[in-house]
A and B are shown apart, each in its own frame.
Chain A
Amino acid sequence: MSEADNNLVRIRNLHFSRGHSKIFNGIDIDIPKGKITAIMGPSGTGKTTLLKLIGGQLKPQKGTIHFHGENIPAMKTKKLYEVRKKMGMLFQSGALLTDMSVFDNIAFPMREHTELPEVMIRDMVLMKLQAVGLRGARDLNPSQLSGGMARRVALARAIALDPEMILYDEPFTGQDPISMGVLVQLIRSMNDALELTSVIVSHDIQETLAIADKIYIISQGKIVGHGDPQEMNQSDSPWINQFVHGEADGPVPFHYPARSYKDDMLAGQ
């Protein structure tokens, strides 16, 4: 099989700007089928924007995003909604519907998109909940869940329709060490057991390096490096080095651009 056939998503020459600020300035990304691809970069580099572009919620000014060989930005609304059934997305906040229980949240996409009888939906919901270890929490409301539990419920909902690809938006942010471990393990095992393709957007280095098969690092609208975790750790690019090892100063300066310290202090007199 040639390499082109192996990629579920192919992004080419993507340009996106919001108002006057350029967020992406011609990036190319390949997301291989069956693998976990991580997209990393400092906060504010538009990682979440990238997921919204892949999901077709935003349209790029230039460039193509091919999913199964079809260009997402060029799709009509109806077609786009068809394609989204093949994608699951895990939002940072969970994005659970607050007016229904955990059970109904997971049943929601099934009830919306299938004609399955309620008995079968019940079985499927319980299976999804079992996979994330929250079968006992089915009657709770989203407001009663901890952050980690909400994210697991959201994960169960993301796989409700058995998608081909899951997009994770900052899955590790704000989690305690135990929830973090659970999520890391869940993402890896789901990817392998369900033969999914996963895309993780994150800036949590250790967790991401631990499970990703392929990593892209974005900064200032460009891809500054990509490769497997090994390559990232040993990279000789000063930028990647600073990011991966979390150094305070380097190519990304500690100080926000300003005039010289001395001038600024004297100006107060």
Chain B
Amino acid sequence: MFDWFAQFGNKTIEFFARLGKEVLLFIQTVLAFVPLLLRPALIVQQLFSIGVRSMLLIIVSGFFVGMVLGLQGYNTLVDFGAEESLGVVVALSLVRELGPVVTALLFAGRAGSALTAEIGLMKATEQLSGLEMMAVNPVERILAPRLLAGIISMPLLAAMFSAVGIFGGYLVGVDLLGVDEGAYWSQMQAKVDFDQDIVNGVIKSVVFGIVTTWIAVYEGYTCVPTSEGVSGATTRTVVYSALVVLGLDFLLTALMLE
């Protein structure tokens, strides 16, 4: 009985100790953004490997998601004779929800897993230790530029996803199914609100950018430095990111629709 109690207490203390360490590390990483601004080359390098390298995946996915939205939206709308609103349906779905959420999920799979594996292997091969002994703080040199690059990349990638998706919806809706071109664009222009829809979508993708990149970087930095440890950490990055993104999306949407 007391054993169970002691174990419960132990686990609770451990949990909060870990949480505290993680928050501390996060603060240290964010504080390291300031000196980082003096060395833009480090950020640009990471923007390339995190952001630019994810573009192909994001653009192709966005295109297909947009085309599917065009097909599905048209099928439903045409029953009510409202197919002219197709542009609004496609644009709102993408800008408010699918753009930020699907981009974040794809980002976690493409860039997040790569980040965790990279940092985890640097730890396993003593490169992080080596940096410390060269008096270079790995939090400043390795974690901070990657986190910042992730935060910058995510909203840009989400914007590309939405833009390409809207174009995909246009191809299917207008060119294939014969929705009026003028209606597609003008309804979209009239009904998509900048503050309500676009800004909220951008806020979401910034939040997802912070969360997914942080999970990736943290899992890599704290992984067990063995091949098993790195593989486990990589899996956790993708799983945690997906769960946290979907959970947070619900929370943010609820707050925004208030």
Contact = CB atoms under 8 A, between A and B. Distances in A.
A240 B135 CA distance: 37
B136 interface: yes
A91 interface: yes
A87 B126 contact: no
Interface size class for chain B?
A: 10 to 19
Tell me what chain A mostly uses at the interface: helix, strand, loop, or mixed.
Answer: mixed
Contacts of B141: 112
B136 A95 contact: no
Contacts of B136: 108-109, 112-113
B125 interface: yes
A52 B133 CA distance: 9
Nearest to B136: A112
Interface in A61-97: 77, 81-82, 84-85, 87-89, 91-93, 95-97
Contacts of A52: 129
Contact of B134 (A57, A98, A108, A167): A108
Interface string A91-127: 1110111100000000011001100000000000000
Contacts of A112: 134-136, 141
A41 interface: no
A95 B125 CA distance: 6
Contacts of B129: 52, 57, 91, 95
Most buried by A among B122, B130, B132, B136: B130
A229 interface: no
B127 interface: yes
A84 B125 contact: no
Contacts of A113: 135-136
A52 B122 CA distance: 17
Interface string B139-166: 0010000000000000000000000000
Contacts of B122: 98
A55 interface: yes
B127 A98 contact: yes
A223 B132 CA distance: 28
Contacts of B134: 84, 108-109, 112, 157, 161
B127 A95 contact: yes
A35 to B, nearest CB: 21
Nearest to A160: B134
A98 B125 contact: yes
Nearest to B28: A77
Contacts of B135: 81-82, 84-85, 109, 112-113
Interface string B20-35: 0000000000000000
B133 A93 contact: no
Nearest to A84: B135
Contacts of B137: 77, 81
Contacts of A93: 125-126
Contacts of B126: 91-93, 95
A60 to B, nearest CB: 17
Contacts of A89: 130, 133
Interface string A132-161: 000000000000000000000000010001
A96 B133 CA distance: 12
Given A52-B129, A97-B130, 13 more contacts: A81-B135, A84-B134, A89-B130, A91-B126, A95-B127, A95-B130, A98-B122, A108-B136, A109-B134, A109-B135, A112-B134, A112-B135, A167-B133
Interface of B: 122, 125-127, 129-130, 132-137, 141
Interface of A: 52, 55, 57, 77, 81-82, 84-85, 87-89, 91-93, 95-98, 108-109, 112-113, 157, 161, 167
29 contacts: A52-B129, A55-B132, A55-B133, A57-B129, A77-B137, A84-B132, A84-B133, A84-B135, A88-B133, A89-B130, A89-B133, A91-B126, A91-B130, A91-B133, A92-B126, A93-B125, A93-B126, A95-B127, A95-B130, A97-B127, A98-B122, A98-B125, A98-B127, A108-B134, A108-B136, A112-B134, A112-B136, A113-B135, A113-B136
List of 8 A-B pairs having minimum Cβ-Cβ separation, nearest first: A95-B130, A84-B135, A95-B126, A89-B133, A85-B135, A81-B135, A109-B134, A91-B126
